[in-house]
Amino acid sequence: MGARPAIAAALLLAALPARAAEYAALQGHGGPVRAIALNGDGTALTASFDYSVGYWRDGAPTWLEGHRAAVNAVIWLGAGRAASGGDDFDVRIWDLATGDSTALPGHEGKVVALALAPDGGLLASASWDGTLGLWPLDGQGGAGPPRFLDGHQGAVNDVAFSADGARLFSAAADGTIREWDAATGAELRTVIAHGFGVNTLELGPGDAWLAYGAVDGGTRVIDPETGAEIGDFTLDRRPILAMAVPPAGDMLAVGDGEGYIMVLDTDDWSLARDFRAATRGPVWALAWAAAGDAIAAAGISDTAYLWPLDGLSGADAVLGAGERSFLRDPATMTNGERQFARKCSVCHTLTGDGARRAGPTLENLFGRPAGSVPGYSYSPALRDIGITWTDETIDALFDEGPDHYVPGTKMPMQRIAGAQDRADLIEYLRTATDPERSRP
Ligand code: HEC
């Protein structure tokens, strides 16, 4: 158990149940926070590297001790109970009133994710031993004999139940998402083979969609029945580490290794918010307040933060305008347009419509001196570089990467390795940034 700083009084979680209008910090763990679970009644659970589970009520934590290593996952079981999973290979069930717990041994690797069947009768665990564990809960804080589902060719990173609880979906380092029969444990099929390891998955209400995030930054939404792509939100940010959906199912939050949190509106898959967590570093854990009006996140720091969605602005928070939809039939898009949609649109508009983005508008980009959009607050590096944007300079910007081409720029590090992709992007930008040519 790591040394834990004395608990400061700065715990504002009590503000949660009404409306989460306040920024709040869950402060007190003695190591990074790996998982967060918020409850509708304003209580919260956190899991930490410091071997403990934090149970937060009225702004104060109770430390649940029992794991013999870092705790990676935590969920509510209802009826005053919670479950956690740790690097000690154990799943633990907690009685939150007493702090007592029962270990459920059996996994032979770290337990990194947990899911509860909709009827509360079955707990599923994802483990780096390559299996899924299924634990029938007895309602008394214990569990019947587990079943281990074997089939993945590598560490299992995440697990979710279908809406009716009859099936399970699992995401693994072998790059696949698989579907299982929850009653028999039989593997039903491989839903997708992404290639790169899949870190996280979420199912929409009624299994209307399945979203997943991968090591290569892949951020996709598919139809879980057919595997057909509903949307591709991949940016040059990797890896994708965390996803969360509020109880209403109307939003999807995506956290990545570079500290960004993107919020998509699942009605039309438009970008609702995109901001960089003030703490920087990877976003390992995300959780929504029950009302869907605030989001909690944690990463490398010992503190988890809760942000009211409406308050996401200012130096470290970058707002997407929300009127844009990624949902386009990729077949109707040119490669250049696709490059822009995936790699640039989250931060740049093409027209000077005033929509707020992290970067300046790209309207009339060609022939424009660098750093010259009035009212945009450029970095000194870009403002003073003394170049003009042309095919050649834009090509060089993404061939070398902004961090090399404009050392000190605010534009995040990203390269477009393929010469053809750069050429297609530039060709698209030539038309799309020209108000005369892009408007019908
Ligand atoms: C995560 C946000 C982000 C992404 C993604 C992004 N940019 Fe930027 N971009 C910025 C920021 C911020 C600046 C301003 C940099 C500065 O002031 O140093 C900028 C500046 C620029 C500039 C210089 C504009 C000027 O007025 O001088 C160009 C050109 C540009 N970006 C093109 C692109 C293209 C093309 C893409 C996609 C391949 C892209 N950007 C992706 C954030 C981003």
Give the whole-number percent of the chain exceeding pLDDT 70: 85
pLDDT tens for residues 371-399? 999 888 898 999 999 999 999 999 999 99
Token code pair at residue 102: 């029962």
Residue in the block written with tokens 């998509």: 264
Q: Which residue has the higher pLDDT, 270 or 279?
A: 270
Give the whole-number percent of the chain exceeding pLDDT 90: 56
Helix (H, G, I), strand (E, B) or coil at 60: strand
- Measured CA to CA, the distance from residue 288 to residue 37 in angstroms comes to 8
φ, ψ of residue 2 in degrees (nearest 5)? -65, 155
* Bridge partners, residue 116, by sequence: 123
CATH of domain 13-311: 2.130.10.10
Extended beta strands in 39-196, E state: 44-48, 52-57, 60-65, 71-78, 81-86, 91-95, 101-104, 111-116, 122-127, 131-136, 147-150, 156-161, 167-172, 176-181, 187-193
Q: Which residue has the higher pLDDT, 39 or 392?
A: 392
Q: Is the pLDDT of residue 354 over 70?
A: no
Superfamily of domain 330-438 in the CATH hierarchy: Cytochrome c-like domain (1.10.760.10)
- Measured CA to CA, the distance from residue 259 to residue 299 in angstroms comes to 8
Longest dimension (CA), the chain: 71
CA separation, residue 247 to residues 40, 271, 346 (Å)? 9, 19, 26
Which of 28-37, 51-60, 300-309 shows the lowest mean pLDDT across its residues?
300-309
Token code pair at residue 429: 């930008």
Which of 99-113, 171-185, 228-242 shows the lowest mean pLDDT across its residues?
228-242
Confidence of residue 73 (pLDDT cuts 50, 70, 90): very high
Residue in the block written with tokens 């960089």: 276
Q: Calculate helix-pair angle for 391-400, 419-432, nearest 10 degrees.
A: 140
What's the pLDDT at 310? 65
User: Which residue among 233, 258, 411, 414 is best mutated to probe the pocket of ligand 1, counting the most ligand atoms within 8 A of its Cβ?
Assistant: 411
Q: Which residue has the higher pLDDT, 319 or 272?
A: 272
H or E, element range at 342: helix 335-343
Q: Which of 164, 78, 88 is nearest to 125 (CA)?
A: 88
DSSP code, position 299: E
Q: Which atom of ligand 1 is nearest to the CA of 343?
A: 37
What lines the ligand 1 site, CB under 6 Å?
A: 343-344, 346-348, 358-360, 365, 370-371, 373, 378-379, 381-382, 389, 394, 398, 409-412
User: Which residue among 258, 338, 347 is best mutated to probe the pocket of ligand 1, counting the most ligand atoms within 8 A of its Cβ?
Assistant: 347
Q: Which atom of ligand 1 is nearest to the CA of 369?
A: 27
Mean pLDDT of the residues in the chain:
84
How much distance in Å is there from the Cα of 330 to the middle of ligand 1?
23
Q: Compute, in degrees rounded to 10, the torsion defined by CA atoms 384, 385, 386, 391.
A: -140
How much distance in Å is there from the Cα of 132 to the middle of ligand 1?
42
H or E, element range at 430: helix 419-432
Contacts of 293 (CB under 8 A, 6+ apart): 19, 20, 308, 309, 310
Q: Are 172 and 149 in contact (CB under 8 A)?
A: no
Q: Is the pLDDT of residue 255 over 80?
A: yes
What's the pLDDT at 163? 96
Strand order across the 251-256 sheet? 240-244, 251-256, 260-265, 270-276
- Measured CA to CA, the distance from residue 26 to residue 10 in angstroms comes to 8
- Indicate the domain borders of the chain: 13-311, 330-438
What's the pLDDT at 320? 26
Confidence of residue 10 (pLDDT cuts 50, 70, 90): very low
Between CA 416 and CA 192, with CA 243 as vertex, the angle to 5 degrees is: 70
